[in-house]
Amino acid sequence: MEKMPEKDELVIATIRKIFPYGAFCSLDEYNDREAFVHISEVASRWVKNIHEFLKENQKVVARVYHFLPEKNQIDLSIRRVSESERKLKLETVKRDKRSQSLLVVLAKRLKKDPAKFSAEMTGLMKKEFGGPMEAFEQIAADPEAVKKLGVSKEENEAFIEISGQNVKKPKVEVSRTLDISCSESDGIEVIRDALESFEKLGTGDTTVGMSYLGAPHYKVKITAEDYKSAEKMLQAIVKLGSEELKKRHCAVSVVEEAK
């Protein structure tokens, strides 16, 4: 039975034919099955000329908002997709394509049928790691993780090699809100200098970014290879801030975890 999209699912659609009342599309992930976007579902504001929003062969992220399997009718909405949902969907598709390409490379390395091998391993990697790309990333970060797949020694070695050569170690991000107060007359300049010194602490794979939230709160965002390194950097920031700001009758402290 041919796979069908589900109601409320986000899909990638290619615009095929445009009419004054809407556009017919093909669903990239469902063997180019036909779907339709009514003009009222193109944008959140009134659309006078649909051609100002859509062009033939354009790819869009849309939501399946009306689906009648018995009539083979799929209605899509573009306006019901938020910007964050659109970006997440595109990133997910990009990661899926990347992981499938790596599985094909693995299959050729192991002299196996690419389609069959990819299908089998995709299911296994979803079960053990949550997804194929997640598996490659975890194996790249920790080669021992490959054992979770329960495959042969030859396959283990191939997975480790391909992951190490083609996948960057995943990054983690830690954000905190800092309370920085200063009673000096030149407090603004003192705090600005402190923020610059915090950012300069970042080295190599660990970066530090500072942003203003509204006095006395400032957000620090730390990107690192693992949470241990990120938390260590946060401690270094607080220590440096406490030592340097104290000299100027100022103080810094972690007040809450940013949401």
pLDDT tens-place values along the chain, 259 residues long: 578 889 999 999 999 999 999 999 999 999 999 999 999 999 988 999 999 999 999 999 999 999 888 788 999 999 999 988 998 899 889 989 999 999 999 999 999 999 999 999 999 999 999 999 989 988 988 899 999 999 999 999 999 999 988 987 667 777 888 888 877 777 778 788 878 888 888 777 788 888 877 778 888 888 887 777 788 888 888 887 777 777 777 778 877 554 3
Is residue 203 helix, strand or coil? strand
What are the chain's domains?
Answer: 10-80 (2.40.50.140), 84-166 (1.10.150.190), 172-257 (3.30.70.1130)
Cα–Cα distance measured from residue 127 to residue 148, given in angstroms and rounded to the nearest whole number:
10
Q: What's the pLDDT at 209?
A: 84
Q: What's the pLDDT at 228?
A: 76
Cα–Cα distance measured from residue 119 to residue 245, given in angstroms and rounded to the nearest whole number:
58
Q: What's the pLDDT at 256?
A: 56
- Cross-strand bridge partners of residue 219: 177, 211
Q: What is the pTM of this model?
A: 0.61
Element (H, E) at 169: none
DSSP of 42-88, one letter per residue? T-SS--S-GGGT--TT-EEEEEEEEEEGGGTEEEEESTTS-HHHHHH
